[in-house]
Amino acid sequence: MSKLCGCVGNECLDIAIKYHSESIDKIGKIAIGDWIDLRAAERVEMKMFDFKFISLGISMRLPEGYEVLIAPRGSTFKQFGIIQTNSPGVVDNSYCGDDDIYKLPALALRDTVIEINDRICQFRLIANQKELRFNIVETLGDQNRGGFGSTGKN
């Protein structure tokens, strides 16, 4: 088992990571940005409208109080013609067993082939949301913006 470490000064979180494939490159922090690429751990051929859970070939034990968001890379649709069906995906820290393998639920919008080690998605470690309390009110007391999807419209 190896560790992924994104240390900055004295701030560091260790993530235990188990690889289920020797064919994929080890993951690590990229030079620019905070998201970390994940790779296909299997060769996948998909026809238009096929659905498949694509193995990412890793299991991780996250630090207590953290979870992972998984989203497609910006080029995933252009390169492979797939979309992530639960985008973004959320993995909490209880998904941490040796056989809790990360996967990308993918829907093909055209015929495609994804090779082992292709970068198909990315993840970001985030702190769990604090506990919330909902207070029922009659009015929020703010001005309406025009409804859902109205931002930027005149």
Q: Is residue 132 part of a domain?
A: no
Per-residue pLDDT of the chain (154 residues; tens, 9 = 90+): 444 545 555 678 889 999 999 999 999 777 778 899 999 999 999 999 999 999 999 999 999 999 999 999 999 999 999 999 998 999 999 999 999 999 999 999 999 999 999 999 999 999 999 999 999 999 999 988 888 877 666 5
Catalytic residue, chosen from 92, 98, 111, 142, is 92
State the total domains in the chain: 1
Task: Check if the beta carbon of residue 47 is closer than 8 Å to that of residue 108.
Answer: yes
pLDDT at 2: 46
Q: Is residue 135 part of a domain?
A: no
CATH number at residue 99: 2.70.40.10
- Threshold 0.85, pTM exceeds: no
Q: Is residue 140 part of a domain?
A: no
Range of the domain at 14: 2-127
Q: Is residue 66 part of a domain?
A: yes
Q: Is residue 71 part of a domain?
A: yes
Task: Check if the beta carbon of residue 35 is closer than 8 Å to that of residue 29.
Answer: no
Tokens 């992530």 appear where? 84
Active site residue 92: yes
Q: Is residue 136 part of a domain?
A: no
Q: Is residue 79 part of a domain?
A: yes
Q: Is residue 30 part of a domain?
A: yes
